[in-house]
């Protein structure tokens, strides 16, 4: 049970608001129904998306914590809100991929669905005004966005999260195609932050190949709320206790 008090809003992003609390070690996150794609050019409000992503993220973070992954997750508060450890965000988005899709399919001219022989990690500079350009570890070190030691921790956590979630999603009859992670520092320690949800992952049903993620919005396929609800239903069916 929480004892902290919500204080002023610190930040409003595309999908979440972050509030301070009376405890400097804890932030209060609220998930919104806003959906955006193509660097904010395409926008919509999707009923219940914030509720679904809050619950889905909480389940993923709890599952990962149980397997020893250090995350910012503290506690699910209600439908739309969770408590997290306060992070100084590292301005690097980390994408992990198992199957070719999205921007990688375009960049290398390979069809979506091509299975990669091993996981691929990519790094992007987190800057909306620049459209999150792709960068590499030389840029990250030279611009001092993270130290080489912090990058070692980030890569190890990203690959571990990939192994854990790929195996787990497999049991839900879902292919984990790719996903994006963000990291931050909490009292100097690297923690996994942000969210893990169908907004930030690609999930394909193994049998039907149906997309159960934000590509339904990006590609105007419809049925986004139903797809996110289906992800939550399958997660809860495995994690109910
Ligand atoms: N992704 C994300 N936020 C971003 C960019 C990508 O959550 O700003 C996720 C996306 O949902 C997918 C993975 O990262 O699961 C890889 O995305 P990709 O590079 O293929 O870009 P996209 O096709 O989304 O432009």
Nearest CA to ligand 1 atom 6: 180
- Residue 180 in contact with ligand 1 by CB distance below 6 A: yes
Do residues 50 and 116 both lie within one domain? no
Do residues 196 and 112 both lie within one domain? yes
Confidence of residue 235 (pLDDT cuts 50, 70, 90): very high
Confidence of residue 2 (pLDDT cuts 50, 70, 90): confident
Nearest CA to ligand 1 atom 5: 180
User: What does the pLDDT read at residue 241?
Assistant: 64
Query: How large is the average pLDDT for residues 181-187?
Result: 98
Do residues 81 and 123 both lie within one domain? no
Give the residue from 85, 108, 138 where a domain finishes: 85
Through-space distance between the first and last CA atoms of the chain, rounded to whole angstroms: 18
Domain count, the chain: 2
User: Which among 9, 5, 1, 46 is positioned nearest to 30, based on CA atoms?
Assistant: 9
Query: How large is the average pLDDT for residues 184-211?
Result: 98
What gap in Å lies between CA 67 and CA 222, rounded to an integer? 35
User: What does the pLDDT read at residue 240?
Assistant: 79
User: pTM of the entire structure?
Assistant: 0.97
Angle at 30 between CA 191 and CA 158, to 5 degrees: 25
Query: How large is the average pLDDT for residues 147-165?
Result: 98
User: Which among 196, 159, 149 is positioned nearest to 31, based on CA atoms?
Assistant: 196
Do residues 75 and 98 both lie within one domain? no
pLDDT at 72 over 70: yes
User: What does the pLDDT read at residue 216?
Assistant: 98
Query: How large is the average pLDDT for residues 176-202?
Result: 98
- Residue 211 in contact with ligand 1 by CB distance below 6 A: no
- Residue 132 in contact with ligand 1 by CB distance below 6 A: yes
- Residue 104 in contact with ligand 1 by CB distance below 6 A: yes
- Residue 178 in contact with ligand 1 by CB distance below 6 A: yes
Instruction: Output the CA 21–ligand 1 centroid distance in Å.
Output: 31
Looking at ligand 1, which atom is closest to the CA of residue 39? Answer: 8
Domain containing 41 equals: 6-85
Do residues 92 and 75 both lie within one domain? no
Instruction: Mention every residue, 6+ apart, whose C-beta is less than 8 A from residue 185.
Output: 87, 88, 90, 150, 191
Instruction: Output the CA 97–ligand 1 centroid distance in Å.
Output: 10
């Amino acid at each position: 049970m929480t004892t902290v008090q919500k204080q002023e809003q610190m930040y409003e992003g595309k999908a979440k608001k972050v509030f301070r609390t009376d405890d400097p070690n804890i932030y209060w996150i609220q998930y919104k129904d806003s959906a955006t794609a193509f660097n904010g050019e395409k926008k919509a409000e999707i009923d219940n998306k914030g509720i679904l992503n809050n619950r889905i993220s909480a389940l993923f973070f709890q599952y990962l914590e149980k397997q020893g992954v250090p995350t910012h997750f503290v506690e699910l508060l209600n439908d739309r809100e969770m408590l997290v450890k306060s992070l100084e965000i590292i301005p690097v988005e980390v994408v992990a991929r198992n199957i070719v899709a999205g921007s990688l399919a375009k960049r290398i001219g390979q069809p979506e669905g091509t299975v990669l022989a091993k996981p691929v990690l990519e790094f992007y500079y987190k800057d909306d005004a620049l459209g999150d350009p792709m960068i590499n570890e030389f840029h990250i070190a030279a611009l001092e966005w993270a130290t080489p030691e912090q990058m070692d921790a980030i890569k190890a956590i990203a690959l571990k999260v990939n192994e854990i979630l790929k195996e787990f999603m497999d049991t839900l009859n879902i292919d984990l195609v790719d996903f994006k992670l963000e990291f931050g520092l909490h009292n100097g320690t690297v923690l996994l932050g942000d969210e893990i949800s169908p907004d930030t992952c690609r999930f394909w049903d193994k049998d039907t190949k149906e997309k159960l993620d934000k590509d339904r919005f990006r590609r105007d396929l419809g049925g986004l709320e139903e797809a996110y609800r289906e992800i939550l239903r399958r997660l809860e069916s495995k994690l109910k206790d």
